[in-house]
Structure 1
């Protein structure tokens, strides 16, 4: 190809991993490789092996968590499996009904697990003896109104009584699209500032962008221990402090020299 021909460079955008989970509004945890062709002029130093500069830019943008994940567990005992399961089902239904009355949508409530096992007595003079059966049902709920989440948790615990155990909650920033977009803009601007400084210091003129690669840093949901607060006085709203979370972006940008 002649030196005056137009060469093609490629911008590669790599999406890095988010929390596990398939939340609406959140970018996918492993974005596919996407390539965009950019026309560049080889006389400007963008051909393979030509002089250029590679810089990284970083940025973080803070946002307030907008969802709360609640993990509850109902535990019952009965002389038979049927008796223990019937009791657990009834209590779980009351807990789910309470969540619904407090604004939690049905699509945001899931049965996370079910465990049935014998309850043994251990006499000192003989082998273990089955004295009944234990049933444990897990319930996971996503609460989207953080302002009312404390009251919803307390009401659910009250509805289940002493059979309910709060395994914990976690706060998450689900709708992070605007924050991520802002972080990208800032990261690219940060990279450009560095590149311009290096170009000036070396007596060169900064040319076009040859390629960009991106890594997104999205912290996992923040665990929040509410077991003590929920058990202390289940009639009172559990205090929830949302705090903030950071969405971070790092870009690696390759510039040509003119």
Structure 2
């Protein structure tokens, strides 16, 4: 799909429409407590794992900050303390960024059948999938694992320079968070749309190409998810809504209807 050429006003509208897809996804899952419960279970399990990792990072952050700022060992106390305080804050920021970027991939792997169900029900409500392909479970899980590992690798690749740039005065506190949010939002959108694209037997490269054709829309959805996932417990509680919103995003970038076709409850 060719990339769309949009003016600033149209791009902003696309961005806001994309952000609104998360809200639409939330509305859809809230109408069906059963689907909401199914979506929360794998997110809760992943959340417990990540919470334990975060606690460990907080406990050992001083030691880690000292290790990465070995060059300041002989500095006088005020400067050494300031540098290590900054390093500790940067390490916590890096941990939070990696947590947000990888949480989705891990949760989708844990709850693949549950999120397949949520995504399928949402698509049925909006007209179904005319080109649906039945992919065997093992093949689907294998693809999901490979795609998730690739996206986790990309997340780490982007997170390292952002971590280093965080030490730069002013830039580290202004430009870096914005760039991190945009990159994180894009990666989250790519991850979350994996289920509906697999339903059409489309691979990761097809997904990236289709999403790039509606980049402002994709970024609007992804950045909204990214920001919500930064809120404590946001990733756990909003994961079902993000999956439902990703189904709508996929339909939009593929040129399919996103207006309700059936009035039956989800």
Which one has the bigger strand percentage? 1
The structure richer in helix per residue is: 2
Per the shorter chain, which TM-score range?
under 0.3
Between Structure 1 and Structure 2, whose CA radius of gyration is higher? 1
- By relative contact order (CA 8 Å, sep 6+), the higher-ranking structure is 2
